[in-house]
Amino acid sequence: MFAGFIPCGESEENGTSYEMFEHYMFIESENDPVNDPLIIWTNGGPGADSIFGLFTELGPLWLDGESLLTDDFNKTGVPTLFYNEHGWTQVANVLVINSPPPVGFSYCNPEGPTGKGESCGTWNDTKNAQHNYLYLENWMAAFPEFQSNPVYIIGESYAGIYVPTLVREILSNSSSLVGKNL
């Protein structure tokens, strides 16, 4: 598992310039990371943190009501993670994105990681797709070993808008690293 921040462009609004950083969690396939597909997952919302889906639906580690009933939780106050034997990482690499900033741990400067919900300016579907395209380009540059894997971009809820607008953005940029195996 990897987690971190990837630069995802700049934006200017009402005289303020924002430098954007998107938080990601990346889990390599438990099967064959070099050859298994890369699933890019996003929750919808808009404004829903995709880590929620990772830990309650598709990831290798699972949180549920039982997580608060274990002896370890009673001792530490930290919810217990359970292994998800049906997790998607059994057959695929999973990249979880949190967009647009400041959703989840994603953020913009000058406000930084503790900024408010509007600390990155206003968003629309087109701006979100352009930002996510740049983010994925930068992520692929940081993880070049996955550039040749098949890519599937999926999500839930408002991702029904996010995914097709992002795919349109990828396909309209012929130099896309992401689009080679989409």
Superfamily of domain 20-181: Alpha/Beta hydrolase fold, catalytic domain (3.40.50.1820)
Low-confidence ranges of the chain (pLDDT < 70): 112-117, 174-182
Map out the domains of the chain as residue ranges: 20-181
Token look-up 């889906």 returns: 53
pLDDT of 10: 86
Kindly give, in sequence order, each residue whose CB lies less than 8 Å from that of residue 137, ignoring residues fewer than 6 positions away. Answer: 176, 177, 178
Residues 167 and 152 sit within 8 Å (Cβ to Cβ): no
State if pTM tops 0.85.
yes
Print burial letters for 85-119: b (CB count within 10 Å at least 16), e (below 16): eebbbeebbbbbbbbbbbbbbbbbbebeeebeeeb
Token look-up 């997952």 returns: 41
pLDDT of 59: 95
- pLDDT per residue as tens digits for the range 68-98: 999 999 999 999 999 999 999 999 999 999 8
